[in-house]
Amino acid sequence: MSSGEDTCDEGLQCWNVDPDTSVGTCLAMCTGTWDAPSCPGQGQECVAWYGPDQAPPGYENVGLCGVPP
């Protein structure tokens, strides 16, 4: 997250990873096939943004880098 701002840098998405707080974390966006590693963090994988059969056309491979559940 950019210092003093409530927004993430380009290519990142703010995601609230702790439901007990309103503090968000900037996570890298990722695209491509789910079996191709494209995330920068150790142990991170591209986790689908949309559920099965819920993505609009052209957004089937959009996700966020994170540690899968």
Q: Is the pLDDT of residue 58 over 60?
A: yes
More confident site: 58 or 12: 58
The two three-digit tokens of residue 63, written as one number: 């996700």
pLDDT at residue 17 in the model: 63
CB 2 within 8 A of CB 9: yes
Cβ neighbours, 10 Å, residue 28: 19
Cα dihedral sign, 62-43-52-36: positive
Angle at 48 between CA 64 and CA 38, to 5 degrees: 55
